[in-house]
Amino acid sequence: MDKTRVKETSQKEAIGSNAKAEKYSMNDPEVTSLLQELLSLHRETEWVEFKANRYDPQTLGEYLSALSNSACLHWKRKGYLVFGIEDKTHIVKGTSFDPTEAKGKGNQDLQMWLATGLQPNVGYNVHRLPYRGKRVVLFEVNAAIDRPVFFYGTAWIRIGSSKTKLINHPAKEREIWSRRNRVDWSAQICERVTIEDLDTEAILKARQEYKTKFPQKTGEADKWDDIQFLNKSKLTIHGRITNAAIVLLGKPESATLLSPAVARISWVLKDEQNREKDYEHFDPPFLLNVDRVFSKVRNLRYRHMPSGTLFPMEITQYDHWVIREALHNCIAHQDYDLHGRINVVETPSKLILTNMGSFLPGSVETVIRQDAPPEVYRNPFLATAMVNLNMIDTQGGGIKKMFQTQMNRYFPLPDYDLSQPDRVVVKIRGEVLDEKYTRLLMERTDLDLWTVILLDKVQRGYRISREEPKKLKRLKLVEGRYPNLFISSRLASETGKEARHIRYKGFDKRYYKDLILALIREHGPISRGKIDELLLDKLPEILTEKQKKTKIHNLLSELSRREGKIENRGSRKYPSWTIRDKKQ
Tell whether 103 is covered by a domain.
yes
Tell whether 319 is covered by a domain.
no
Instruction: Tell me: do 117 and 161 sit in the same domain.
Output: yes
CATH of the domain at 554: 1.10.10
* Residue 269, pLDDT above cutoff 80: yes
Instruction: Tell me: do 109 and 253 sit in the same domain.
Output: no
Binned at pLDDT 50, 70 and 90, residue 405 comes out as confident
Which pLDDT score is estimated for 105? 86
- What would the pLDDT profile of 500-525 be if each residue is shown by its tens digit? 545 545 567 777 888 899 888 888 88
Instruction: Tell me: do 16 and 80 sit in the same domain.
Output: yes
Which pLDDT score is estimated for 331? 95
Residue at a domain's end among 456, 481, 505: 505
Instruction: Tell me: do 105 and 24 sit in the same domain.
Output: yes
Tell whether 465 is covered by a domain.
yes
Tell whether 55 is covered by a domain.
yes
- What would the pLDDT profile of 450-499 be if each residue is shown by its tens digit? 777 777 777 666 677 666 777 777 777 776 677 666 666 566 555 555 55
Binned at pLDDT 50, 70 and 90, residue 425 comes out as very high
The C-alpha atoms of residue 82 and residue 27 are separated, in whole angstroms, by: 17
- For residues 435-454, average pLDDT: 64
Contact by Cβ (8 Å): 289, 337: no
Please give the C-alpha separations between residue 231 and each of 195, 239, 240, 269, 545, in angstroms, as whole numbers.
Answer: 12, 6, 9, 39, 62
For the chain, the domain total comes to 4
Rank 73-82, 217-226, 559-568 by mean pLDDT and report only the highest: 217-226
Tell whether 522 is covered by a domain.
yes
Tell whether 320 is covered by a domain.
no
Which pLDDT score is estimated for 2? 43
Instruction: Tell me: do 165 and 236 sit in the same domain.
Output: no
The C-alpha atoms of residue 135 and residue 241 are separated, in whole angstroms, by: 44
Which domain covers residue 491, as residue numbers?
440-505
Instruction: Tell me: do 20 and 80 sit in the same domain.
Output: yes
Binned at pLDDT 50, 70 and 90, residue 150 comes out as very high
- For residues 375-393, average pLDDT: 85
User: For helices 320-333 and 380-388, what crossing angle results, to 10°?
Assistant: 150
* Residue 239, pLDDT above cutoff 70: yes
Residue at a domain's end among 216, 234, 258: 258
* Residue 531, pLDDT above cutoff 70: yes
Tell whether 194 is covered by a domain.
yes
User: For helices 528-535 and 545-557, what crossing angle results, to 10°?
Assistant: 120
Instruction: Tell me: do 148 and 59 sit in the same domain.
Output: yes
118 vs 75, which has greater pLDDT?
A: 118
Instruction: Tell me: do 175 and 237 sit in the same domain.
Output: no
Which pLDDT score is estimated for 73? 86
Which pLDDT score is estimated for 225? 94
Report the b/e string of 347-382 with b at 16+ CB within 10 A: beebbbbbbbbbbbbbebeebbeeeebbebbbbbbb
Residue at a domain's end among 154, 180, 206: 180
Instruction: Tell me: do 14 and 160 sit in the same domain.
Output: yes
Instruction: Tell me: do 84 and 206 sit in the same domain.
Output: no
Contact by Cβ (8 Å): 453, 368: yes
- Which of 9-13, 164-168, 342-346, 367-371 is least confident? 9-13
- Which of 12-26, 336-350, 482-496 is least confident? 12-26
- What would the pLDDT profile of 206-230 be if each residue is shown by its tens digit? 999 999 999 999 999 999 999 999 9
- What would the pLDDT profile of 159-188 be if each residue is shown by its tens digit? 888 899 999 998 888 888 876 655 688 998
The C-alpha atoms of residue 149 and residue 486 are separated, in whole angstroms, by: 44
Instruction: Tell me: do 14 and 59 sit in the same domain.
Output: yes
The C-alpha atoms of residue 5 and residue 394 are separated, in whole angstroms, by: 50
Instruction: Tell me: do 515 and 492 sit in the same domain.
Output: no
Tell whether 549 is covered by a domain.
yes
